Amino acid sequence: MKLVPRYTDITENFAIEDFPASVAFPQLLLWNESLAKEFNINVAADLRASTFSGNEKQAIPAVALGYSGHQFGHFSPRLGDGRAHLLGAINDDKNQLWDIQLKGSGATPYSRGGDGRCALGPAIREYVMSEAMHALGIKTTRCLAVVGSGETVYRNPPQAGAIVTRLATSHIRVGSFQYLATQGDVEGLKNLADLAIERHYPEITDTGSQRYLAFLGAVIKNQVKLVVSWMRVGFIHGVMNTDNTLVSGETIDYGPCAMMNSFDFDTVFSSIDKQGRYAFGNQPNIANWNCARLAESLIPLISDDDEQAVSLMTPYINSFAEQFNTEFTAMWAQKLGLNESCNSSGELIAELLTLLKDNQLDYTNTFDALTESLKEEVVIIPESLIEWRAKWVSLTDDNSYEVMRTANPRVIPRNHVIEEIIAQYNATGSSELLQRFIKIASNPYSDSEKLSEFQATPINENDYQTFCGT
């Protein structure tokens, strides 16, 4: 496993060298064999637990990255990797660089008194959710391994500890730019922006201020696409802080995330989101807000005159809503197999969403049933949709089924399934349910004899909550 540079050249104290802390009894609990092959990670089986727990020291130290963050709207100027160590970057089979990071690997200079550890439950959640999201076709960080630490993590209640090995095309966050902007480090800002462009947006060849305006525009475009893809499958991030927003447009941090069952734009599961700031339907607004915070951080790279810089960037921020509405409308058209130019589609979609909410219909299963009803004669459609379906079918064509089948998953990582997998790991250190689920979830748009097991919805999820793993 050949590792390459790790952000140490950005500016002083942006990437602080630090070794992971060793653990008592590392045990490999999950290993992503297909991902290992994709990256040509040839770590011997008997060394995987020690290597990906942090017990095997690398030739060069790992680093902890600094970043700031607006957490539920409140700014924290110094956060950083408080329980993660970035080992370096590796190339995939397409020569794309990916950061490889240990999460839960012990305290760092950014830990602020924390133990730097991760509990087993959140580690399992990250593995299952990130791999399910990847299979759903959504840009995401990936998970290579989960290693049990053999130690207790003192949370409430005390839990078994674990270390996650996470891969991302970079760990450059909106909060990374905020961190350097807060310090007035213009040279560091420029270095970071240039690195982000090099790794994620090499098509940007502009110079001067236009280079960084183009970068802002590219980030906005990717954030729009990401949030629309979340909403297509009913994903609720739960903690869309600026430190959890990657400029690459990948999903990161699966702590309090959840999947929506019954359709409702106001759905919230996170125990710490008391005001619904990150509710399902509010995710576009927050993504826009986060992009505005990135723009603020880039001001020194745009102009020495703050007012002029704001004037130049404002059209980019204002374009978010228009871009989102275009992508959002196209997404609903795909989910219903309709031509975007259809004059009746907007009214039809609005009527459907009202019916879904008023009748507490399952989001995933309803769209799956509608999709299959174009192909199969006997498909159970909720009675409340019969009249609506007649109007909808009259607007579909011969291509509608294929379009809908690629947009509407048959299986998602249901909350109760994730919780049962975590419970099995906590009880026995393994999960037979996970083995069955991963096989089905790896092809979430396809039919399967065992599909129904993972389409079932809980009787009542009103009291279900997710929690931050910190």
Q: Is 243 a catalytic residue?
A: yes
Q: Which residue has the tokens 């959840």?
A: 258
Q: What is the pLDDT along the chain (470 residues), one digit of tens a residue?
A: 667 677 999 999 999 999 999 999 999 999 999 999 999 999 999 999 999 999 998 878 899 999 999 999 999 999 999 999 999 999 887 888 999 999 999 999 999 989 999 999 999 999 999 999 999 999 999 999 999 999 999 988 899 999 999 999 999 999 999 999 999 999 999 999 999 999 999 999 999 999 999 999 999 999 999 999 999 999 999 999 999 999 999 999 999 999 999 999 999 999 999 899 999 999 999 999 999 999 999 999 999 999 999 999 999 999 999 999 999 999 999 999 998 777 778 899 999 999 999 999 999 999 999 999 999 877 889 999 999 999 999 999 999 999 999 999 999 999 999 999 999 999 999 999 999 999 999 999 998 778 888 998 876 777 788 887 66
Considering the entire predicted model, what is its pTM? 0.96
The Cα 246–Cα 136 span in angstroms is 19
CB atoms under 10 Å from CB of 74, counted, come to 8
Question: Is-cis flag, bond preceding 157, omega within 30?
Answer: yes
The residue from 99, 243, 362, 368 that is catalytic is: 243
The number of residues in the chain equals: 470
User: How deeply is 25 buried, as exposed, middle or buried, from its count of CB atoms within 10 A (0-12, 13-18, 19+)?
Assistant: exposed
Q: Are 108 and 77 in contact (CB under 8 A)?
A: no
CA distance 420 to 426: 10
